Amino acid sequence: MFSSSTLRSALLPLLGIALLSLPGCAQEEGSTTSTDTADTATVDLSAPSPITGGTTDTIDSDVPFVESPQSVVNKMLEVANVTKNDVVYDLGSGDGRIPITAARTYGARGVGIEIKPHLVKKARENAKENGVSDLVEFRQGDLFKADLSEATVVTIYLLPTVNMKLRPKLFRELEPGTRVVSHDFDMNEWEPDTTWESGGETIFRWTIPEETPDFVNLEE
C-alpha cells in the first residue's frame, strides 16, 4: 500500500527539490505544533487498494493518487474542528475517504472533487458501503474549475506547487472563517494556525481571514 512517504519520495525526482527540507515539512516558527499518536480509524478504507496504480484512465492530473492513511484523515478532521454543521470539500478526493469519514464520524456533509472517473466511481461505491451516500457527493472534474463557495472546511493532499496555484482561489471563493487543512504540504508565507506532526506525517490548518493578506494576488 502507498503511504505519504511514498508520495514524497516518488515526487522528489519530478520536483528536483528536497521536499523533506521544505519549510512546511519542519516545525513552523510561531505556529502551534502538537504531536501525538495516531487515532483509531473509524472507516476501514485502509486495505490495499486495487485502484492504486494500473488504470486505463488517461485524463491528466496535477497529483498522483496516494491515499492519506486513515489515522491522518481522522486527525485532519479533528484539527479542522468538523461538526455536523460543516460542509467538507476534499479537493482531489481519491477513493473518497475524507468526505466519507466526515459524514460517518461527524454527520457533516461532504463533497469530493476528483478528476479521475474511476476514482469517482470507487468513492461513490465506498460511500454506499459506509452508509453515507445521502451525506456525501463526488463530482468528477478539475478542482481548479470547481465552485468552492459553500465549503466551510476544505481538505487537500496535493503538492507544494499545486497548493500555491490553489491559494488565490481559496481566498477568492471561501468565506472568512472557513478552515483549510493540508496533509504534508504548506502554503509558503501563509502561516498556519496549527501544525500537527506525528510519525513523519504533518497536518497544517489555516483559517480564511476577514482581509486578504498582501502576499496573495487574487488575480492569479
Ligand X SMILES: C[S@@+](CC[C@H](N)C(=O)[O-])C[C@H]1O[C@@H](n2cnc3c(N)ncnc32)[C@H](O)[C@@H]1O
Question: Which residue ranges make up the site for ligand X (CB under 6 A)?
Answer: 7, 61-63, 65-68, 90, 92-94, 97-98, 113-116, 119, 142-144, 157, 183
Q: C-beta of 73: minimal distance to ligand X in Å?
A: 7
Choice between 66 and 148, CB closer to ligand X: 66
Residue owning grid cell 508565507? 189
The sign of the dihedral angle between the CA atoms of 7, 9, 10, 16 is: positive
Choice between 169 and 212, CB closer to ligand X: 169
Choice between 47 and 213, CB closer to ligand X: 47
User: Which residues are 87's β-sheet partners?
Assistant: 109
Contact 7, 160 (CB under 8 A): no
Strand blocks (E) in 2-101: 32-34, 87-91
Choice between 19 and 212, CB closer to ligand X: 19
**Closest-CB residue for ligand X?**
92
Which pairing describes strands 194-198 and 201-207: parallel, antiparallel, or unpaired?
Answer: antiparallel
Q: C-beta of 215: minimal distance to ligand X in Å?
A: 23
Tell me if residue 17 falls in helix, strand or coil. Answer: coil
- Alpha-carbon distance of 196 to 194, in angstroms, equals 7
Choice between 1 and 209, CB closer to ligand X: 1
Q: Residue 149's closest CA among 114, 176, 181?
A: 176
Q: C-beta of 66: minimal distance to ligand X in Å?
A: 4
Q: C-beta of 142: minimal distance to ligand X in Å?
A: 4
Q: C-beta of 74: minimal distance to ligand X in Å?
A: 12
